[in-house]
Homo-oligomer: A and B are copies of this chain.
Amino acid sequence: MAPGILSPDKTHSTNVLSSSLKEESGIKSQRNKEHELVLKTFRLLISDLCQQFNGGHPGGAIGMAAIGIALWKYVMRYAPLQPEFFNRDRFVLSNGHTCLFQYTFLHLTGYRDMTMDQLKSYHSKRWDSICPGHPEIEIEGIEVTTGPLGQGVANAVGLAMATKNLAATYNLPGFDIVSNHTWCMIGDACLQEGVALEAISFAGHLKLNNLTIIYDNNQITCDGSVDLTNTEDVNAKMMACGWDVIDVEDGCYDIDGIVAALERARASADKPTFINVRTIIGLDSSVAGQAEAHGAAFGADDVKRMKRSYGFNEDEYFVVGDEVRQFFSDLPSRGEQIVSQWNDLVKKYADAHPLLAEEFQRRRSGKLPSDWKTLIPSPDKFPDKPLATRASSGLMINPLAKAINSFMVGTADLSPSVHMAWDGKQDFQHPNLRTACGINGSYAGRYIHYGVREHAMCAISNGMAAFAPGTFIPITSSFFMFYLYAAPAVRMGALQRLKVIHAATHDTIGMGEDGPTHQPIELAALFRSMPNLLYIRPADSEETAGAWIAAIEAQDASSIISTSRHKVPQLKQTRRDGVAKGAYVIQEDDDAQLTLIGVGAELSHVLDAAVVLRETKGIRCRVVSFPCQRLFESQSLDYKRNTLRRHRNIPAVVVEPYAPNGWERYADASISVRRFGHSLPGPEAYKYFGFDVDSIVSKVSDYWMRISQDEILRREFVDL
């Protein structure tokens, strides 16, 4: 017998729920006949939608048809006419390429925007289509944008954590005002991606019984049989990770069996549930069960053949008959009823618990307490001594995170280094957890030990942020270098314009001894060019205050606040409102010959160098502090010109120990690093790479001499 999940080892006592339609074919009930018609209609509709522009992903959607009926008709609690109903079940399609599955059920169940006309825009030339190649959060009924595999699993964990936290914070006896379940659909591929494996392990640890993964187990990926690449015992692996496992043998037809499994999952006492549903990709097409069913239309002839074999008219397209419409017709009104019952409950809750209800209402509306900014210390509260900007980061955000329960703050196992834990913080943990350290867990806790799982941390945070706009502001933290592990999730957060704030410490070569594997030379170029993301490098406590304010005030953007491991001086000239503009003149000189651009932890070196240049070389430099390129870009042309003064032919030199890529827009020369780093104590690393004050002075004065002698050099970007 071949290894793998097609042959589950019964000794692991998984639970097989099954009731085959086929066996009772002689006495099919009306309901089963309806199911059969809906299944056929759905499968042909998917086939037609892919056929019209000869592309798309039909196979998975078709294989999952019965799962969709079980979910949308029988199990999920939602309101098609009020897609944003707060206590709705969340559905995440982690195998996002099967998006037609979701679009079609949104259409059938009565979501207003998802018209048949829109469905037909899938893969069309319409730029205003709401049926893109992967589900996007902007579309009603879509909870998160998915596509890059595995992300959805972690998003779902975040959504389930959001529910747990709100429930633990606001639910009271008789008032389960937050009680929704999160359902996550995955394919074989999601189970191979590291980010999903991290999130699965973490969800098991947290005992998220309000989370269910539904595994579309068709044993096919692009390259063919899953056996080519993965022969592990998936059920046993899930159980080892702390999940309940339920098997459904006949996932193509056994709607009752799937419903039973889903209901049992919703009732799980203290574990997340993994439902392993065997399906057949591209069922009833001529490529059923094959990789060819995955990412291509079946061909016009084959779709016609399918229609004939189903008893449909082969020349009719996009057919949804009255019986099928009828079958789904109760869902909008059922949804309205669910919403109305919940509204009643919340009204009673408000009467009984007005203060809590008020806070709950504020958070539902996506707002922070109006005085939040006063919690961030003013300069007179800063320690009057050099401070690592990572410590400044804690100084700014700890009081906010402590006082305002919208903040969910986590770290990928670097609590002692990232300064994100506040006095008296309570951990987000299952209430029964008693660790070796004696920590009491609670889902009401808002400090999250993610383990060494950077990628899952950020993808989970996206899920929390997506629960409802502004209800949560998730904060992640790690060394800046390790945000490369998490970059796909940071990107997904930015793409979805989710307000997630990443506190990245130990930036540049200043972080020292850990060496080139930990020195993020080229990462700033990535995050500075990533749309909808603010990459902010503050220079001292004041700028760090500005960075946090900018990140929290940013509309529709994620942020990275990038801080130093080592202590930096408190500069007198820095301004938090300067950070909001991305760059600002920190030291003006109307007769300046050069502009020096300083950034983050090295700004103080630049200010010192400017003094030495004037005093010993007679070169007059103005200095610009430049914490965030994207914020600067959104300023007026006038502001930008007056800040940089390149229009007055004053050359600018940027000083930052990163790859210079992108600075060429703002400067004429750079003191930068174009190789990997080196393991040395921070101050030595600065010297070794030429970022100490002496080196800066010597390079800048040399540059000034060269451009004085060579006009052409002025037209080229120069690496000093």
Chain A residues near B (Cβ < 8 Å): 2-3, 53, 55-56, 96-97, 123-125, 127, 129, 132-134, 136, 145-150, 188-190, 192-198, 201-202, 204-205, 219, 221-234, 236-237, 239-242, 291, 295, 411, 413-417, 427, 429, 433-437, 439, 449-453, 455-456, 481-482, 484-485, 487-488, 491-492, 494-495, 512-518, 521-523, 525-526, 528-532, 646-647, 649, 659-662, 664-665, 674-676, 678-681, 684, 688, 712, 715-717
| 16 A/B residue pairs, CB under 8 Å, sorted by A | A2-B434, A123-B513, A133-B679, A148-B485, A194-B453, A201-B230, A205-B229, A205-B231, A219-B436, A223-B413, A227-B433, A228-B451, A234-B240, A237-B237, A291-B416, A646-B716
In angstroms, Cα B525 to Cα A586, docked, is: 29
Q: Which of B145, B223, B716 contacts A449 (CB 8 A)?
A: B223
Report yes or no: B219 in contact with A456, Cβ–Cβ below 8 A: no
What B residues does A229 contact at CB under 8 A? 202, 205, 413, 449-453
C-alpha gap A451/B221 in the complex (Å)? 8
A56 & B149 in contact (Cβ 8 Å cutoff): no
Once the chains bind, are A659 and B531 in contact (CB under 8 Å)? yes
Identical chains in the assembly: 2
Are B525's CB and A662's CB within 8 A? yes
CB pair B219–A232 under 8 Å, yes or no, is no
Contact present for B222 and A417 (CB under 8 Å)? yes
Q: How far is the CA of A694 from the CA of B432 in the complex (A)?
A: 65
| B515 pairs with A136, CB closer than 8 A | yes
Of B127, B234, B433, B453, the residue contacting A680 (CB under 8 A) is: B127
Instruction: Tell which of A147, A436, A712 has the most Cβ of chain B within 10 Å.
Output: A436
Give A148 to B145 CA distance when docked, in angstroms: 28
Q: Indicate whether A522 sits within 8 Å of B530 (C-beta atoms), given known contacts A239-B236, A450-B229.
A: yes
The reply to whether B518 and A659 contact each other, CB–CB distance below 8 Å, is no
For A240, the chain B residues whose CB sits under 8 A away are 232-234, 236-237, 240
The complex places the Cα of A287 from the Cα of B234 at a distance, in Å, of 39
B96 & A517 in contact (Cβ 8 Å cutoff): yes
List residues of chain B with CB within 8 A of the CB of A664.
Answer: 662, 664-665, 717
Closest chain B residue, CB of each to CB of A421: B223
Nearest-neighbour CB distance to chain B for A528, whole angstroms, equals 6
Residues of B within 8 A of A136 (CB): 515-516, 679
Pick from B134, B227, B436, B526: contact of A515, CB under 8 Å: B134
In the complex, A225 Cα to B646 Cα: how many Å?
Answer: 55
Contacts A495-B676, A681-B123; A521 near B531 (Cβ below 8 A): yes
Contact in complex: A193, B453 (CB < 8 Å)? yes
Residues of B within 8 A of A660 (CB): 529
Q: Determine the chain B residues whose CB is within 8 A of the CB of A221 once the complex forms.
A: 413, 451-452
Query: Bound state CA distance, A589 and B495, in angstroms?
Result: 42
Kindly list chain B residues whose C-beta atoms are within 8 Å of the C-beta of A197.
194, 197-198, 201
Find out whether the CB atom of B149 lies under 8 angstroms from the CB atom of A223.
no
Partner of A531, one of B134, B146, B491, B675: B675
**Chain B residues in 8 Å Cβ range of A684:** 125, 127
The 9 closest A-B pairs by CB, nearest first: A194-B194, A229-B451, A147-B517, A132-B679, A664-B664, A661-B662, A529-B659, A236-B240, A526-B526
Contact, CB under 8 Å: B715 / A133? no
A416–B222 Cα gap in the complex (Å)? 7
B717:A665 contact, CB within 8 angstroms? yes
Partner of A241, one of B132, B232, B417, B451: B232
Tell me the bound Cα distance from A225 to B436 in angstroms.
Answer: 6
A414: chain B residues within 8 A (beta carbon): 222-223
Q: Is the CB of A437 within 8 A of B522?
A: no
* Neighbouring B residues of A484 by C-beta, 8 Å: 487-488, 491
Instruction: Flag if A198 contacts B194 (CB, 8 Å).
Output: yes
Contact partner of A149 among B416, B452, B488, B528, CB < 8 A?
Answer: B452
CB neighbours of A662 from chain B (8 A): 525, 661-662, 664
